[in-house]
Copies of this chain bind each other. A is one copy, B any other.
Amino acid sequence: MLFHFKDKFPQLTAYWDRYLPLQKRMEVPAKTVLLEEGKTSSNYIFIEKGCVRLAFNNNGTDKTVQFFFENEGLTSLESFLKNTPSLFTIETIEPSVIYALPKKHFQDLMTELSVEPGFADMILNIFAERQLHYMHEFVSFIRDTPEQRYQNLLNERPHIVQRVPQHYIASYLGISRVHLSRIKSALARKR
């Protein structure tokens, strides 16, 4: 849920405790599909342990859009907000422990929260951050070569490179797995 912003917005803590029982806790193996492409997203997912990817299928080839780890939350946003078929699949990469908050309770929470002072500011902050994140990704695509993009990943989010299989990373970078392999060996030779 929004609860991954607990640290930044302490007023959320009380809500977290109260909404905890409404969430469904699940322990799932790797490669478990939590939301299937084409179905409507009806849960907000919070990751207690493990790692998850947001992906889609393009003419039989699998493409990864984003990776999520412990204490992060996600959903297929457009589907969740607009009740439309999800363009994306949500799938675990490692065996994971996740909490699912049904949409109905999510909406209740939003209603409750909206009277909280500073709520608008909080929403603005949270969404601005996400927007800036995607915008930076976009800028990286038009500015950097794939090799530079891989180096950025290594420098800024090394946990992704460490925990995620390489072919997922390749599709996330927008290149083939063969080319990512080439990039890695080129970098190794440079040192």
Q: Which residues of A contact B (CB under 8 A)?
A: 56, 58, 63-65, 77-78, 81, 87, 110, 114, 119-121, 123-124, 127-128, 130-132, 134-135, 137-139, 141-143, 171-174
- Copies per assembly: 2
Knowing A131-B130, A131-B134, A132-B78, say if A65 contacts B123 (CB, 8 Å). no
A141 to B140, CA, bound (A): 11
Smallest CB–CB gap between A140 and chain B, Å? Answer: 9
In the complex, the answer to whether B120 meets A65 with C-beta atoms within 8 Å is: no
A142 to B78, CA, bound (A): 19
Of B119, B143, B174, the contact of A120 (CB 8 Å cutoff)? B119
Knowing A65-B135, A123-B120, A135-B134, say if A143 contacts B78 (CB, 8 Å). no
Complex contacts, A142 vs chain B, CB 8 Å: 63-65, 171-174
Complex contacts, A174 vs chain B, CB 8 Å: 141-142
In the complex, the answer to whether A128 meets B127 with C-beta atoms within 8 Å is: yes
Of B58, B77, B114, B173, the contact of A132 (CB 8 Å cutoff)? B77
Smallest CB–CB gap between A131 and chain B, Å? Answer: 5
A175: nearest chain-B partner, CB-CB: B142
A170: nearest chain-B partner, CB-CB: B142
Knowing A119-B120, A120-B119, A143-B58, say if A134 contacts B138 (CB, 8 Å). yes
A150 to B137, CA, bound (A): 19
Complex contacts, A138 vs chain B, CB 8 Å: 65, 134, 137-138, 141
Of B65, B81, B124, the contact of A139 (CB 8 Å cutoff)? B65
